[in-house]
Amino acid sequence: MTELALAAFAAERDVHVIRAPHGRVFAMFARRFDEAGYLARLQRGGVRWLARSDDDFPPLLRAIHDPPAGLFVRGAAEVELLRRPAVAVVGARSCSPYGAQVARMLGRELAAAGLVVVSGLARGVDGEAHRGALESGGPTVAVLGCGIDRDYPAAHGELASRIRATGLAVSEYAPGVEPAPWRFPARNRIIAGLSAATVVVEARERSGALITVDLALEEGREVFAVPGEITSALSRGANDLLRLGATPLTSSDDVLELFGLEQAPAEAVELGPAADAVLARLRDAPASADELARATGLDAGALASALTELELAGIAVASGGVYRAG
Amino acid sequence: MTELALAAFAAERDVHVIRAPHGRVFAMFARRFDEAGYLARLQRGGVRWLARSDDDFPPLLRAIHDPPAGLFVRGAAEVELLRRPAVAVVGARSCSPYGAQVARMLGRELAAAGLVVVSGLARGVDGEAHRGALESGGPTVAVLGCGIDRDYPAAHGELASRIRATGLAVSEYAPGVEPAPWRFPARNRIIAGLSAATVVVEARERSGALITVDLALEEGREVFAVPGEITSALSRGANDLLRLGATPLTSSDDVLELFGLEQAPAEAVELGPAADAVLARLRDAPASADELARATGLDAGALASALTELELAGIAVASGGVYRAG
């Protein structure tokens, strides 16, 4: 019996198994299982198989109490990537502009400092964390809650292929397995399991990201929560974690310190005086264009050009008519 | 030698003294000091004197390592108010709409539950905390950093008189003492000293509110910090306190619990469907009117009337073109 037979059996029966079940059903399946043929088909699909018993299997993931039988792996990177120091960045799918901005910044800065950013390819925080890592040229790992051959969510198909171009997509689910709600908590244990630390950016109460946190805590991994406004339902989960004793993350340095790393030096950006004035106002609080015009005294044209300058430099973002410092 | 002579001496010499100085200068002053005449003048100005040695002097303030010689007191409330369970709410003068909103909410909810809200009458967080307490009908205490007869800042003259109508203004500084920068840290020790707990709403790095926190911690008082966005310079002080181990405040319940109190039941508000939809969007993140129209599909007229409904009910606030849930 191999671990691959177990993964193939789980896919065929649509069940979650991590150890060979007793009884005839699995025994018969394993006896009939054509491992060489299955591996050849995987290979034709560009998929590798990394068994739990393989020396290359990531030790942090093997150490959790219910590691998967193995991982299906797609992407340009070596599987060694999964053994490198990694941070999970997780949070709400329908995140706010603030959550998106912080996830992107963390993805970018953590990857630039040499950490592998692990997330779940979901909309919102997950996607932004992956995108940030890609922006800094760092490989990133997407852990899927469906078969390794599926792009889920569909809207992230292009993002998934960019991730695979330098990093990896991994799944415990064999090709053909459809996404299903119950698979996502199981997937979250792999996100937490691959990572020495998990960062929650924005999360509602009782959300999937908090499941990832519970799993990380069970395995004794570090958990960071990003503070947010107490009036925002989207920050309730992260703020509640702070009350329970999670480490507040106020900059990526907090995570890097845990790994003994330092932030890659930021490129100095020269701003014009109008952009400087707008940025000073934005550093205090997000504002609409009207408020920025009022606060800075700039006319509409000068304000628009200052905002464009800040957006191009990546130090201000606009969303829903509200500008924010980056 | 009385404590009142000491306070009068400090005022005349423009020095900060809490114990009788040795030497001739003070001895001569004290011998010449006309206590009865001074008290009569205070009374004519509506000012009471509460000496440190007075039985009515608030025991929490007496317990700090450098209590003032006494407090000059103005306002309609009995000095017994200063012995009631109190919470300091402090923060930035140039706070953001978020900080203002949270300070107001805390002032209102803490006072409604029976706590005395103590603050420094400054612009921004201080003023909003006092206003919130007044809104709920609770007496509030303003601790001045200038002579008890001064309204500082001038813009808060009307607020000061509303505070005195049901609560108290107090100062260790005699009538005539001008505000001076060095008096504000000294004033902050009285804010912290009167209060069993101090809440920091929004504070920049190295700000006066953090001095209040240091004083509260030195005296073993509870310190709460309100989480804010890590991209906001105005939340840096509060978020840094969280990193240092301050208790995160996510609702006024966190403070009330410390005092064994419960929140006064909120009045139920019936909203129309349009206002409901707008509120649901705002609970996730602040937004401009344009974004609210987009998210809810309401036309301009319906949106304006929904926003008015929410603002009148006190559950949404607008500032700088950005709407926020309350």
Q: pLDDT per residue over B210-237, tens digit each?
A: 999 999 999 999 999 999 999 999 999 9
pLDDT at B74: 98
Of B229, B287, B291, the CB nearest to A229: B229
- Distance from the Cα of B202 to chain A's closest Cα (Å) equals 10
The DSSP symbol for B235 reads G
The terminus-to-terminus CA distance of chain A in angstroms comes to 53
Q: Which residue of A has its CA nearest to B251?
A: A230
Q: Which residues of A touch B (CB under 8 A)?
A: 94, 96-98, 101-102, 226-236, 239-240, 242-243, 247-251, 254, 283-291, 294-295, 319-322, 324-326
Residues of chain B with Cβ-Cβ distance to A234 below 8 Å are: 284-285
DSSP class per residue in B124-168: THHHHHHHHHHHTT--EEEEPSS-TT--SSGGGHHHHHHHHHHSE
Q: Which residue of A has its CA nearest to B99?
A: A229
Number of A–B residue contacts, CB under 8 Å: 129
Confidence of residue A291 (pLDDT cuts 50, 70, 90): confident
Write down all domains in chain A, each with its CATH number in brackets: 79-258 (3.40.50.450), 273-325 (1.10.10.10)
Q: What percent of chain B has a predicted confidence (pLDDT) above 70?
A: 99
Interface probe for B, chosen from A322, A323, A324 (most Cβ of B below 10 Å), is A322
Q: Which residue of B has its CA nearest to A247?
A: B243
**Pairwise pLDDT comparison (B284 vs B63), residue with the higher score:** B63
Handedness of CA A74, A78, A80, A82 (dihedral sign): negative
Confidence of residue A150 (pLDDT cuts 50, 70, 90): very high
pLDDT at A132: 97
pLDDT at A318: 84
pLDDT at B264: 74
Contact status, residue B183 vs residue B90, Cβ threshold 8 Å:
no
Mean pLDDT, chain B, as a whole number?
Answer: 93
Q: What percent of chain A has a predicted confidence (pLDDT) above 70?
A: 99
For residues A123 and A115, what is the distance between their CA atoms, to the nearest angstrom? 22
> SS3 string of chain A?
CCHHHHHHHHHHHCCCCCCCCCCHHHHHHHHHCCHHHHHHHHHHCCCEEEECCCCCCCHHHHCCCCCCCEEEEECCCCHHHHHCCEEEEECCCCCCHHHHHHHHHHHHHHHHCCCEEEECCCCCHHHHHHHHHHHCCCCEEEECCCCCCCCCCHHHHHHHHHHHHHCEEEECCCCCCCCCCCHHHHHHHHHHHHCCEEEECCCCCCCHHHHHHHHHHHCCCEEEECCCCCCCHHHHHHHHHHHHCCEECCCHHHHHHHCCCCCCCCCCCCCCHHHHHHHHHHHHCCECHHHHHHHHCCCHHHHHHHHHHHHHCCCEEEECCEEEEC
For residues B215 and B192, what is the distance between their CA atoms, to the nearest angstrom? 6
Q: Model's pTM, two decimal places? A: 0.86
Within 13 Å and on the Cβ side, how many CA atoms surround B35?
Answer: 11
